[in-house]
A = this chain, B = another copy of it.
Amino acid sequence: MSDKKTALVISAHAADFVWRCGGAIALHAEMGYNVTVACLSFGERGESARLWKEGKSLDEVKAIRRGEAEEAAKVLGVHDLVCFDLGDYPLELSRDNKTDLVNLIRKVQPSFMLSHSQYDPYNTDHMYTTQVALECRMIAQAWGHNPGEKVLGAPQLYLFEPHQTEQMGWKPDTFLDITPVWEKKRAAMEHMNGQVHLWDYYTRVAQQRANHFKRNSGGMSGGRDCKYAEGFQSIFPRTVDEL
């Protein structure tokens, strides 16, 4: 374990980490964080409509999606892309799969974690992933799990932006300015060839969040300029020395 700061993204499907927190990944990578992305599935069945319409086989779809994820990860500066390849629609983790995730959490010792919203009636894989993230975070904190290993501290779990935020009961409490790394996020998105219509969608999301960043940093009297931002909801309270 190096002395570098670290972060861990737990993504249900291969592209989620790109749309939803690609900016946070690139920004923290530039700041020197080692960012690990756990991709629980490739989103091969549920989020690759175009490939299936083209008649690709399951193996082909997975290979293509893996390739895209790897390209996107490279662009974003991901330190380690861990593909669990557990299948999607539905995504299900066995006890062993969960133990693998616990082991990864312990190995990474993240300063903060990122995952999905807690409710998503459109996509039960998403809310299931967050439930698993909370369970595995808890196990990683237990002194009696693989005694002798370094236990996990209390990293924040940030919930990144879902599609149709209001339907998910997701309320962002943190806006992150990703303007400095925007080109990387856009480039990473453009590697996701099966979901071209989302490139502009998530570009607009970033622009709207930038407006919110500006408003919340200064209101009508200005606010700090910001062209692209991402929003996050925190599960746990912060501990601070200054308000």
Q: Which of B28, B147, B171 contacts A167 (CB 8 A)?
A: B171
Assembled-state Cα–Cα distance A205/B90 (Å): 31
Q: Which chain B residues border A215 with CB–CB below 8 Å?
A: 122, 154, 163-164
A1: interface (CB < 8 Å): no
Best-buried of A153, A157, A197, A239 by chain B (most CB within 10 Å)? A239
Chain B nearest CB: distance from A145 CB in Å? 5
Q: Which chain B residues border A45 with CB–CB below 8 Å?
A: 139, 142-145
A4: interface (CB < 8 Å): no
Q: Which chain B residues border A158 with CB–CB below 8 Å?
A: 243
Q: Which of B7, B49, B150 contacts A243 (CB 8 A)?
A: B7
Q: Which chain B residues border A176 with CB–CB below 8 Å?
A: 240-243
Q: Which chain B residues border A154 with CB–CB below 8 Å?
A: 215-219, 221, 223
Contact A46 B237 (CB under 8 A): no
Chain B nearest CB: distance from A200 CB in Å? 8
Chain B nearest CB: distance from A205 CB in Å? 7
Q: Which of B89, B164, B211, B239 contacts A139 (CB 8 A)?
A: B89
Residue of B nearest to A179 (CB): B241
The B-contacting residues of A in range 223-243, CB under 8 angstroms, are: 223-224, 226, 229, 231-232, 234-243
A44: interface (CB < 8 Å): yes
A183: interface (CB < 8 Å): no
Q: Which chain B residues border A103 with CB–CB below 8 Å?
A: none
Q: Which of B143, B173, B219 contacts A238 (CB 8 A)?
A: B173
Contact bitstring A201-213, B, C-beta under 8 A = 1, else 0: 1001101100111
Known: A121-B134, A144-B45. A237 touches B208 (CB 8 A): no
Assembled-state Cα–Cα distance A238/B215 (Å): 10
**Residue contacts A-B, CB under 8 angstroms, 11 given:** A28-B243, A46-B143, A49-B220, A89-B138, A125-B138, A141-B219, A153-B219, A164-B212, A166-B171, A166-B172, A174-B240
